[in-house]
Amino acid sequence: MTPKHKAPHAKLFADPEAGAERPTEVTTAYIDGASRGNPGPASYAVILKGPDGKVTLELGKYFGRATNNVAEYYGLITALDGAASRGITRLRVRSDSELLVRQMEGRYKVKSGDLKPLCERAQKLARGFAWFGIEYIPREENREADKLANEALDRTGKSSAMRKGTDGEIRKSKSETRRIRARYSNGALIPAEPLELLDGAEIEITIHRATQS
């Protein structure tokens, strides 16, 4: 039986199909998230394409244990951050997650406690663009992002990220292992440098007492 939904809420962002509202110079982000186990090992993927169709960013990254829906939002937030950091002001996001798209539009209510802060963060970032649109696409139209996300899971335990720069060269990170110093205070470890991790990311910590100078 097909579930019934309440009448849609007011849409928060521009309708990508509304030609009168859509500017010509728009960057398109294809995003995807994957989880093996749901929850289980999870990854996300982002592909940014300029108005001319040229790929300016290609990223697939494993980030820990999460559900598929959380992974989808990680992909969205990464796309929004990546576009903003590149000075992009007009962005269209395409995703094969109908739940994510409808929640971002305000049509579906966000009931999950895990997804609510991610959705709120994504909506706040999206409002920072001069023009923003988001649309649902069938999975077969999102194969490139889907492939990147699954390749990131396949590399779990090896290299967990792969990027393509603006020069088109694909670069794989040598390792995700980092060594940093931290101070233990009041039951918490305080890193001496920024970790550059997304909220909810899982990491492994090996503790060695630092040599006193």
Least confident of 4-8, 94-98, 187-191: 4-8
3-state secondary structure of 100: helix
Question: Is residue 148 in a domain?
Answer: yes
Q: Please give the tally of structural domains in the chain.
A: 1
Closest CA to 210 of 181, 178, 179: 181
pLDDT for position 163? 46
**SS3 per residue for 157-173:** CCCCEEEECCCCCEEEC
Of 172 and 30, the one with more pLDDT: 30
Is the confidence at residue 10, as pLDDT, over 60? Answer: no
Per the DSSP assignment, residues forming a β-bridge with 85 are: none
Question: Is residue 93 in a domain?
Answer: yes
Of 97 and 159, the one with more pLDDT: 97
Question: Is residue 116 in a domain?
Answer: yes
Closest CA to 75 of 144, 6, 172: 144
Question: Is residue 87 in a domain?
Answer: yes
Two tokens at 131?
A: 């023009």
CB neighbour burial string for 147-164, b if at least 16 within 10 angstroms, e if fewer: ebbbebbebeeeebbbeb
Q: What is the CATH number of the domain that holds 83?
A: 3.30.420.10
Range of the domain at 129: 27-172
Question: Is residue 155 in a domain?
Answer: yes
Question: Is residue 12 in a domain?
Answer: no
Question: Is residue 95 in a domain?
Answer: yes
Question: Is residue 2 in a domain?
Answer: no
pTM for this prediction = 0.69
